[in-house]
Amino acid sequence: MPPLLQVLTLLFGVAMAYLTYVGFRRHQFGIGGLVFWEIVWLALVLVSIVPLPHQPLSRALGAARLLDLAIVVAILIMSTVTYRTYVAVQLMRRRLEELVRTQALAELPTTGAARLQSEGPATSA
C-alpha cells in the first residue's frame, strides 16, 4: 500500500490539474498559463505515482525521496508565484489610484467662483 502522503499528493495534483483546466475554459488565463500549470501538476502526479526510477536524482540533490524533492521545488515555485503576485498587485494598485485621481481632478471647475487669485501684486511668500 502506498504511503498516505503519496496518495494525497496524487489527489491534489489531479484536482489542481482539473481546476486549472476549468480556469482556462473560463478565460481566467491564456494557453501559456494552462500549459505551464498543467506541466507542474502533471509532474507532481508523476512523482507521486512512480517515485522509484527517479531515486538517483533525489539522492544526488540531497533529498531522501523524490516526493521530498518535489515538495522543496513546490515551495520554491510558490515563493516565486507569491512574489510575482505581490508585484502585480502593487502595480495594479498604483494604476488604479492614478486612474481614480485623474478622474476626480477632471471634475475640477476650470473657470468660475472656485478659481482663486491672489489679490494685489505678487511677491514671494
Partner 1 sequence: MTPSLAIVIPAHNEAGRIRSVLADIPQEMAGIGRIVRIVIDDGSTDGTGAAAKHGGAVVLRHRVNLGVGAALHTGTEAAIRLGADIIVHMDADGQHPPADLPRLVQPLLDGDVATSAIRQFARPMPWLFIFGNRFLALVTRGLFALDNPDTQCAYRAFWARAWPDLRWQSSDYAFASEMLVRSHRGGIRWTLVPIQTVYHDRYKGTGISDGIRILRKLVTWRLTP
| Binding stretches for partner 1 (CB under 8 A) | 96-97, 100-101, 103-105, 107-109, 114-123, 125
Indicate the residue among 49 and 89 with the shorter CB distance to partner 1: 89
**Nearest distance in Å: CB 32, partner 1:** 30
* Cβ–Cβ < 8 Å for 40, 70: no
**Nearest distance in Å: CB 111, partner 1:** 11
What are the CB-based long-range contacts (under 8 Å, 24+) for 36-40? 40/77
Indicate the residue among 55 and 90 with the shorter CB distance to partner 1: 90
Indicate the residue among 1 and 105 with the shorter CB distance to partner 1: 105
**Nearest distance in Å: CB 120, partner 1:** 5
**Nearest distance in Å: CB 112, partner 1:** 10
Indicate the residue among 32 and 109 with the shorter CB distance to partner 1: 109
CA distance 48 to 51: 6
CA distance 96 to 93: 5
21 Cβ contact partners less than 8 Å away, ≥ 6 residues apart = 34, 38
- First CA to last CA distance, the chain: 84
CA distance 116 to 111: 10
